[in-house]
Amino acid sequence: MKQLVLASGNAGKLKELNALLAPLGIEVLPQSAFHVSEAEEPHPTFVENALAKARHASRATGLPALADDSGLCVSALGGAPGVMSARFAGEPKSDARNNSLLLERLDGASDRRARFVCTLALVHHADDPLPLIATGEWHGEILAEARGQSGFGYDPLFYVPDLDQTAAELAPELKNILSHRGAAFRQLLEKLRAELA
Protein backbone atom coordinates (compact mmCIF):
# COMPACT_ATOMS: atom_id res chain seq x y z
CA MET A 1 0.00 0.00 0.00
CA LYS A 2 1.77 3.14 -1.23
CA GLN A 3 -1.19 5.52 -1.30
CA LEU A 4 -4.52 5.77 0.41
CA VAL A 5 -7.33 8.24 0.08
CA LEU A 6 -8.75 10.05 3.09
CA ALA A 7 -12.56 10.19 2.94
CA SER A 8 -12.62 13.74 4.27
CA GLY A 9 -11.84 17.25 3.11
CA ASN A 10 -10.35 18.24 6.47
CA ALA A 11 -6.87 19.72 5.85
CA GLY A 12 -5.84 19.24 9.50
CA LYS A 13 -6.68 15.54 9.45
CA LEU A 14 -4.82 15.13 6.15
CA LYS A 15 -1.64 16.76 7.51
CA GLU A 16 -1.80 14.72 10.73
CA LEU A 17 -2.32 11.44 8.87
CA ASN A 18 0.49 12.10 6.40
CA ALA A 19 2.87 12.69 9.32
CA LEU A 20 1.74 9.45 11.01
CA LEU A 21 1.87 7.26 7.91
CA ALA A 22 4.99 8.67 6.19
CA PRO A 23 7.29 6.35 8.24
CA LEU A 24 5.34 3.39 6.78
CA GLY A 25 5.87 4.72 3.24
CA ILE A 26 2.19 5.56 2.76
CA GLU A 27 1.07 8.82 1.15
CA VAL A 28 -2.39 10.08 2.12
CA LEU A 29 -4.40 11.94 -0.52
CA PRO A 30 -7.65 13.86 0.09
CA GLN A 31 -10.78 12.61 -1.65
CA SER A 32 -11.22 16.14 -3.04
CA ALA A 33 -8.16 15.50 -5.27
CA PHE A 34 -10.34 12.94 -7.08
CA HIS A 35 -13.55 15.04 -6.99
CA VAL A 36 -15.22 12.43 -4.79
CA SER A 37 -18.58 13.57 -3.41
CA GLU A 38 -19.44 13.36 0.29
CA ALA A 39 -20.84 9.95 1.23
CA GLU A 40 -24.21 9.44 2.88
CA GLU A 41 -24.02 8.70 6.63
CA PRO A 42 -27.42 7.14 7.35
CA HIS A 43 -26.33 4.61 9.97
CA PRO A 44 -26.89 4.66 13.75
CA THR A 45 -23.32 3.59 14.64
CA PHE A 46 -19.90 5.20 14.17
CA VAL A 47 -18.40 2.05 12.65
CA GLU A 48 -21.11 1.70 9.98
CA ASN A 49 -20.79 5.35 8.94
CA ALA A 50 -16.98 5.21 8.84
CA LEU A 51 -17.15 2.07 6.69
CA ALA A 52 -19.74 3.63 4.35
CA LYS A 53 -17.49 6.67 3.82
CA ALA A 54 -14.35 4.56 3.29
CA ARG A 55 -16.05 2.20 0.83
CA HIS A 56 -17.52 5.17 -1.08
CA ALA A 57 -14.09 6.83 -1.45
CA SER A 58 -12.39 3.55 -2.39
CA ARG A 59 -15.04 2.74 -5.00
CA ALA A 60 -14.69 6.20 -6.57
CA THR A 61 -10.86 6.20 -6.64
CA GLY A 62 -9.81 2.57 -6.88
CA LEU A 63 -7.44 3.17 -3.94
CA PRO A 64 -7.43 1.95 -0.34
CA ALA A 65 -9.41 4.45 1.74
CA LEU A 66 -9.58 5.63 5.32
CA ALA A 67 -12.54 7.32 6.99
CA ASP A 68 -13.51 8.28 10.49
CA ASP A 69 -16.76 8.95 12.25
CA SER A 70 -16.76 10.54 15.64
CA GLY A 71 -18.97 12.23 18.17
CA LEU A 72 -20.00 12.70 21.76
CA CYS A 73 -21.95 10.06 23.71
CA VAL A 74 -23.64 11.23 26.91
CA SER A 75 -24.71 8.56 29.42
CA ALA A 76 -27.82 10.35 30.71
CA LEU A 77 -29.05 10.78 27.12
CA GLY A 78 -28.75 7.11 26.18
CA GLY A 79 -25.62 7.77 24.14
CA ALA A 80 -26.96 10.82 22.29
CA PRO A 81 -25.99 12.91 20.43
CA GLY A 82 -23.79 10.06 19.12
CA VAL A 83 -23.54 9.94 15.32
CA MET A 84 -25.71 13.08 15.19
CA SER A 85 -23.20 15.13 17.20
CA ALA A 86 -22.43 17.65 14.45
CA ARG A 87 -26.12 18.10 13.62
CA PHE A 88 -27.60 17.66 17.11
CA ALA A 89 -29.52 20.96 16.90
CA GLY A 90 -30.33 20.51 13.19
CA GLU A 91 -29.12 22.23 10.02
CA PRO A 92 -27.17 24.34 9.41
CA LYS A 93 -24.51 22.87 11.71
CA SER A 94 -23.78 25.11 14.70
CA ASP A 95 -21.47 24.40 17.65
CA ALA A 96 -23.22 27.09 19.70
CA ARG A 97 -26.71 25.66 19.11
CA ASN A 98 -25.49 22.08 19.69
CA ASN A 99 -23.92 23.05 23.03
CA SER A 100 -27.00 24.98 24.04
CA LEU A 101 -29.27 22.00 23.27
CA LEU A 102 -26.96 19.64 25.16
CA LEU A 103 -27.10 21.83 28.27
CA GLU A 104 -30.88 22.12 27.96
CA ARG A 105 -31.27 18.31 27.74
CA LEU A 106 -28.97 17.78 30.74
CA ASP A 107 -30.64 20.43 32.89
CA GLY A 108 -31.08 18.92 36.37
CA ALA A 109 -29.27 15.67 35.49
CA SER A 110 -26.94 14.36 38.20
CA ASP A 111 -25.21 11.89 35.86
CA ARG A 112 -23.04 14.04 33.56
CA ARG A 113 -20.66 11.33 32.34
CA ALA A 114 -19.76 11.51 28.66
CA ARG A 115 -17.20 10.21 26.22
CA PHE A 116 -15.89 11.32 22.89
CA VAL A 117 -15.67 8.40 20.45
CA CYS A 118 -13.72 8.12 17.19
CA THR A 119 -13.96 5.09 14.92
CA LEU A 120 -11.58 4.71 11.97
CA ALA A 121 -12.20 2.33 9.09
CA LEU A 122 -9.55 1.46 6.51
CA VAL A 123 -10.57 -0.59 3.48
CA HIS A 124 -7.96 -2.07 1.13
CA HIS A 125 -10.56 -1.98 -1.67
CA ALA A 126 -14.25 -1.07 -1.90
CA ASP A 127 -15.56 -4.56 -1.11
CA ASP A 128 -12.90 -5.43 1.48
CA PRO A 129 -14.34 -8.15 3.78
CA LEU A 130 -11.62 -7.52 6.39
CA PRO A 131 -11.32 -3.76 6.91
CA LEU A 132 -9.06 -2.45 9.66
CA ILE A 133 -11.22 -0.92 12.41
CA ALA A 134 -9.92 1.15 15.31
CA THR A 135 -11.94 2.91 18.00
CA GLY A 136 -10.70 5.40 20.57
CA GLU A 137 -12.60 6.82 23.53
CA TRP A 138 -11.97 9.82 25.78
CA HIS A 139 -13.93 9.87 29.04
CA GLY A 140 -15.07 12.97 30.91
CA GLU A 141 -18.11 14.90 32.14
CA ILE A 142 -20.33 17.65 30.79
CA LEU A 143 -20.08 20.93 32.70
CA ALA A 144 -23.07 23.22 33.31
CA GLU A 145 -21.32 26.06 31.46
CA ALA A 146 -18.59 26.44 28.87
CA ARG A 147 -14.91 26.94 29.78
CA GLY A 148 -11.89 27.58 27.55
CA GLN A 149 -11.18 29.15 24.18
CA SER A 150 -9.45 26.38 22.21
CA GLY A 151 -10.89 23.43 20.35
CA PHE A 152 -14.28 23.23 18.70
CA GLY A 153 -17.61 21.47 18.98
CA TYR A 154 -18.36 20.28 22.51
CA ASP A 155 -14.78 20.90 23.77
CA PRO A 156 -15.72 23.85 26.07
CA LEU A 157 -18.26 21.65 27.92
CA PHE A 158 -16.18 18.43 28.02
CA TYR A 159 -14.44 18.35 31.39
CA VAL A 160 -11.52 16.00 32.11
CA PRO A 161 -11.48 15.47 35.92
CA ASP A 162 -7.89 14.14 36.08
CA LEU A 163 -6.61 17.39 34.58
CA ASP A 164 -9.25 19.73 36.05
CA GLN A 165 -9.61 21.25 32.58
CA THR A 166 -12.03 21.14 29.68
CA ALA A 167 -10.91 19.96 26.25
CA ALA A 168 -11.05 23.64 25.22
CA GLU A 169 -8.55 24.59 27.96
CA LEU A 170 -5.91 22.02 26.97
CA ALA A 171 -2.88 22.82 24.83
CA PRO A 172 -3.55 21.40 21.32
CA GLU A 173 -0.53 19.06 21.55
CA LEU A 174 -1.78 17.53 24.81
CA LYS A 175 -5.33 17.28 23.49
CA ASN A 176 -4.08 15.36 20.44
CA ILE A 177 -2.31 12.84 22.69
CA LEU A 178 -5.25 12.34 25.07
CA SER A 179 -8.14 12.55 22.64
CA HIS A 180 -10.35 9.83 21.21
CA ARG A 181 -8.93 10.58 17.75
CA GLY A 182 -5.34 10.22 18.99
CA ALA A 183 -6.18 6.88 20.62
CA ALA A 184 -7.91 5.58 17.48
CA PHE A 185 -5.00 6.62 15.23
CA ARG A 186 -2.44 4.91 17.50
CA GLN A 187 -4.51 1.73 17.45
CA LEU A 188 -4.82 1.87 13.65
CA LEU A 189 -1.07 2.42 13.27
CA GLU A 190 -0.38 -0.71 15.33
CA LYS A 191 -2.71 -2.74 13.10
CA LEU A 192 -1.11 -1.32 9.94
CA ARG A 193 2.40 -2.05 11.20
CA ALA A 194 1.42 -5.62 12.00
CA GLU A 195 -0.13 -6.02 8.54
CA LEU A 196 2.94 -4.60 6.77
CA ALA A 197 5.47 -6.55 8.89
DSSP, residue by residue, 37-64: PPPP---SSHHHHHHHHHHHHHHHHSS-
Q: What are the residues facing 4 on neighbouring strands?
A: 28
* C-beta separation of 51 from 121 below 8 A: yes
* C-beta separation of 76 from 106 below 8 A: yes
85: CB partners within 8 A, 6+ apart? 70, 71, 72, 98, 153, 154
- Is residue 69 flagged as an active site residue? yes
Set 68, 69, 95, 164: catalytic member: 69
Beta strand 132-142 with 113-123 is: antiparallel
177: CB partners within 8 A, 6+ apart? none
Helix H or strand E encompassing 140: strand 132-142
Residues with a known catalytic role = 69
